[in-house]
Amino acid sequence: MVRANAAGWAALAIMLGLGAGGTAEEPAGPTLPPVSERARAVHAAGMLFDGHNDYPWLIRDEGDMGMARIDFAKSAPGQTDIPRLRKGGLKAQFWSVYIPSDYPNPTRTVVEQIDFVNRLVEKYPDDLQLALTADDVEAAVKAGKIASLIGIEGGVAIDDSFAELRAFHKLGARYMTLTHNKTLAWADAATGERKHGGLNEFGERVVAEMNRLGMLVDISHVSAETMADVLRVAKAPVIASHSSAFALCPVPRNVPDEILAGLKSNGGVVMVNFYSAFLVPDSNKKAAEAKAEIRKVHPDRAEARKAIAEWYKNEPGAIRGTVATVVDHIDHIVKVAGIDHVGIGSDFDGINSWPVGLEDVSDYPRITEELLRRGYSEPDIHKILGGNALRALREAEAVAKKLQAETPPQVDEIRHKKNDHDD
């Protein structure tokens, strides 16, 4: 999740000519050659498992948590709906239940989105099926459904409470991104204050408890020091549900090479994010400059908006990135961490700029096409698309089973203030 609020989305929708908050047709994008038959076949034979989609938060922003106006089976605003998911060959999705760092009632807000995912799955049973385990994912895929998993984005959700962490696991959360953009009482964020030099002791216990529960520890958004601390204490594979390679795009939120190398022994998976600013160095700065130039030429706001939409549509990828840029990040992670440690974590519906050719969830097969073009074998492509993510989830479940037999739950005594219970 990058986008901050509804206004941001509305502005983007206007910029792209989608109409503010209206039901989008295909977002504006360039016309690219169709994906080859071969790539479609390889793609369909694999199991695309995306680590991060912010649709629940988008719908919250749209003010339609009751799903009265938007029909996910027809077309939804933004980048995700069932027809486009089917076209894109998605088999499993971690739906992000996001909580910004500073937001009232974080726990309730996350519960509301978990409830939304449950209701979404119940409303569209022909296409979606809830998955709580790796076996559930495979069963859903076998039944022709999109396996739907829940991942919490933002450890602020647990309110520094192991009880809440466990309750969220019971509610179906199968990963938690330890932080969002701000540092918590127990973990430093990539874009937050350096307060603990990584995880503090409580943070280490959070990781231990997540391992014991079988909830994947997500190192997207945390500082490099926190990533290193997680790798040091984790007993199960970790994931970065939506992060790219720091070596190719040095933003603090991307994963540096030493962490990538550390994934080999951990078994973890970095799932590559499609946000332009995490793929192309200085993307946001270059985009702002380009838009400022357009505004100079078009003092009229409406005209400028039109021209910016046109620019966005025709930008060849120097700023937005292309499918090849995404695959460059995949290549780099393969080189440093190995073929078993890379995946896809689009961040669709949580981003306001994406690569040319990856306009929405219908475009995933273009990645398969580019991987084939670069000589990846079909089995390796299947690992990247989702095999690695599924393996990490399965391994985390096995570790949890073992830890549950050996280790008691983390519990902090509750210290009531004197007279707390006086009437």
**CB-nearer residue toward Zn ion: 51 or 267:** 51
**CB-nearer residue toward Zn ion: 1 or 76:** 1
Known catalytic residue at 221: yes
Known catalytic residue at 180: yes
The one catalytic residue in 153, 315, 359, 360 is 153
User: Which of 364, 271, 326, 350 is closest to 84 using CA atoms?
Assistant: 364
The one catalytic residue in 43, 52, 332, 341 is 52
Rounded distance between C-alpha atoms, residue 217 and residue 236, angstroms? 8
Known catalytic residue at 52: yes
Are the C-beta atoms of 222 and 252 separated by less than 8 Å?
Answer: no
Rounded distance between C-alpha atoms, residue 291 and residue 280, angstroms? 17
The CB-of-40 to Zn ion minimum distance in angstroms stands at: 30
Q: Where are the beta strands (DSSP E) in 82-203?
A: 90-98, 128-130, 146-153, 173-177
Known catalytic residue at 153: yes
CA distances from 280 to 19, 126, 182, 222, 347 (A): 28, 38, 23, 20, 16
Task: Compute the CA torsion angle 102, 218, 53, 66 (nearest 10 deg).
Answer: -50
For Zn ion, which residue has the nearest CB? Answer: 1
**CB-nearer residue toward Zn ion: 1 or 141:** 1
The one catalytic residue in 50, 61, 127, 180 is 180
Give the footprint of Zn ion on this chain (CB under 5 A): 1
The one catalytic residue in 221, 329, 332, 382 is 221
Q: How many CA atoms lie within 13 A of 144 on its CB side?
A: 3
The one catalytic residue in 61, 347, 360, 395 is 347
**CB-nearer residue toward Zn ion: 220 or 368:** 220
Q: In this structure, what token pair is assigned to residue 388?
A: 């690695």
Rounded distance between C-alpha atoms, residue 260 and residue 337, angstroms? 5
Known catalytic residue at 420: no
* 75 strand-pairing partners: 71
The CB-of-319 to Zn ion minimum distance in angstroms stands at: 21
The contacts of residue 74 (CB under 8 Å, 6+ apart) are 81, 82, 83
How would you class 163 by CB atoms within 10 Å of its CB: exposed for 0-12, middle for 13-18, buried for 19 or more? Answer: middle
The CB-of-238 to Zn ion minimum distance in angstroms stands at: 16
**CB-nearer residue toward Zn ion: 19 or 250:** 250
Q: Which uninterrupted H or E stretch holds 118?
A: helix 106-123
**CB-nearer residue toward Zn ion: 42 or 99:** 99
Q: For residue 288, how many other CB atoms are within 10 A of its CB? A: 12
Strands 90-98 and 48-53: parallel
The CB-of-53 to Zn ion minimum distance in angstroms stands at: 11
Rounded distance between C-alpha atoms, residue 239 and residue 123, angstroms? 29
- Three-state DSSP state, 343: strand
The CB-of-385 to Zn ion minimum distance in angstroms stands at: 21
Known catalytic residue at 347: yes
Known catalytic residue at 54: yes
**CB-nearer residue toward Zn ion: 1 or 187:** 1
The CB-of-67 to Zn ion minimum distance in angstroms stands at: 23
The CB-of-199 to Zn ion minimum distance in angstroms stands at: 19
Active site residues: 52, 54, 153, 180, 221, 242, 347
